[in-house]
Amino acid sequence: MKLLYILLFALTFVSLNAKNIEMLKNACNHNELKKCYELGSLYETGNDGIKKDPKLAVKYYQKACHNGKMKGCMGLGAMYLYGNKVSKSYQKYLELYNKACLGGLYKACDSLGFDYKEGRKVVRQDYRKSAFYYERACQGGIASSCNNLAEFY
């Protein structure tokens, strides 16, 4: 009897996830960009019983990013950074994180501030650029960026 309940629960869970995915896809197709980002994130990580599919993650992140959802830009940028089903491209990572930063996603500013402070990836150490990004992040409420910015003074 327990096995029957477990089986019914599992089938219900899979069915609900399939319905939720279809609802997210429908919302994304109607330009609810937050839903496009959520789909990208689900497909990138394979969470909530969803099969991991980095190609679909790229598709949904691109749609979100190209239409102004900065979290989509950051998600796509991270995929380029690590070469997750896209060719590894530090240049695209920088472009996408910069777009996200300038678009008000201050976590991206903080990451770029760190990259320029440490001279990571393809960027040379550049304290002016680091300070620029940390200042934006600090103004956006990221306390650690304020602390890092203070080190320059």
* Whole-prediction pTM: 0.83
pLDDT reading at 86 higher than 80: yes
Q: How far apart are CA 77 and CA 21, in angstroms?
A: 23
Nearest alpha-carbon partner for 71 in 25, 147, 79: 79
Residue 75 near residue 41, CB atoms below 8 Å: yes
Q: How far apart are CA 53 and CA 125, in angstroms?
A: 35
Question: Where do we find the tokens 């777009």?
Answer: 99
> pLDDT of 12-42, one tens digit each?
333 447 778 899 999 999 999 999 999 999 9
pLDDT reading at 82 higher than 50: yes
| Fold of the CATH domain 1-100 | 1.25.40
In this prediction, residue 10 carries a pLDDT of 37
